[in-house]
Structure formats: C-alpha cells, structure tokens
Amino acid sequence: MTQDADRSNAPRVVLVTAAARGLGLAVARAFKVRGDSVHVSWRSSSAAVPLLQREFGREFVHRVDLARATDAEQLVAEVVALEGRLDVLVHPVGEFKAGSLERATPNDAAHMFESNVTTAMHVFAAARAALRGCRGNALFFGVAGLDSLRGRRDTALYAAAKSALLVLVRSWALEEGAHGVRVNAVSPGVIPHADADPLTLDAKLHARIPLGRAGTPEDIARAALFLCSDEARYVTGVDLPVSGGWLS
C-alpha cells in the first residue's frame, strides 16, 4: 500500500454541526460508515438526541447554539479535548425560509444571515487553529445556482445569505491555503427528506430537473465525503453544485 493510499483510508476526527436530522445527519452517517470518529451537534431537535447518542455515542453528541461564539468555542474545545485533534469540519447549518421580498422584514433578513452566515463565522473561527494543526478540511453548505447571481422570486433572502457565505468560503480558502487547510462548499439542489421544506416535494419541479429526478441526502453525503477526502487534496475554494443540473 502506498503512503497516499494509507493516508486516504486513515480514520479522522470529524465534526458535523446541525446533524440531528436531514442533510447533516446523512453526512454524519456517511463519515461514520467510512470509519471516522464523528462528533455531531444539535440545537433544538431534542427528540432526536437518544437516537444520536445510540448511533454516535453519548460523548460525541453536543448541544450548542452556534449563533453564540462562546458555544462554538466550547464545542470545538470539547472535541479537541476528547480526541486531541480535529481533521474535518462540516457545517450544514442554515435555516431556509421562502417568501417574496415584498413581504420580508429587516428582522427576517437579520435572522437569515445569523443562521447562515454568523454561525459559519463562529464555528470556523473556533476550529481554525485545530484545522491548521492537522492540515484539515472545512465544508460549508450553499444552495444551487449561487454563481449566476440570478434574482429569486421566493427565496431571495436565503440566496442572499448563502451568496455571502460563498464569498466567505472562497476568502477562507485564500487565507488558509498557506496553512494546508482546504475550505469548500457543497450546494444542494432539490433534496426532499423528512425535514425539508414542502416545496421540495413538488413533482412539477422535479420534472424540470435535467437529470429527471430530485436528489437524495445520500447524494449530498457522497459529495461531502469527496470534498473532504484525500482524492480532492488539490481542491479548495470550490462550490460544488449537487443538483442534477438544476439552475446550472
């Protein structure tokens, strides 16, 4: 076995935020199947905690509110204290809200940016030193169609917040390249799941996707594994749409 193959198969310490349900949970499970030591965080989905503790282990499940910098710092400190390192940070946090700008308020905008941008800034700031220490990876979640900067009739605030996040991802990639840390984004398209917005269940919308179907949480998880793998060792500052061609 070559040194590169050995490195690519080695278990890592992974932190997946917002992993109590949906895409975050699918990603956390994929890393665990790979053989990594996976820590997960949750904020408000208390009903899911017993299942998370059985699946990942009691000490690997953390309750935090990443809108608070101190919670992000405590979360990373707990992981590093237990494991001695942090190799991969995956941050799927970001609430979605549909609606026209005509009906939106400044408070709606502030909440959308807090959830999608502020939490990312807090957790990356907390994890930066640990990731530098092991030349690790950080992965954030965008939304398909960001590069086009197209107007949105129903999701303008969400797309604006995710666009801001994408600028941060690319800027972090520039800053951290010298330290061997890779920072990327994965941008899901239409991905129905138990906790997704009802809009994702629209069959007419699915028919408009070039590949002819909606995506699955497992599609996103596979992309996350790739971007955080040694196979992608020369990939940083990238936004990877996983959308079946939707909004390409």
State how far Cα 48 lies from the chain centre. 19
To the query of whether residue 158 is one of the catalytic residues in this protein, the response is yes
**Rounded CA separation 171/175 (Å):** 6
Q: Which of 127, 133, 112, 117 is nearest to 79 (CA)?
A: 127
Three-class SS state of 89: strand
**Rounded CA separation 124/196 (Å):** 25
Q: Is 78 exposed, middle or buried (0-12, 13-18, 19+ CB in 10 A)?
A: middle
Amino acid at site 215: G
**Rounded CA separation 165/29 (Å):** 25
**Rounded CA separation 216/108 (Å):** 28
**Rounded CA separation 204/218 (Å):** 22
Per annotation, catalytic residue among 140, 141, 158, 172: 158
Q: Which residues are part of the catalytic machinery? A: 158
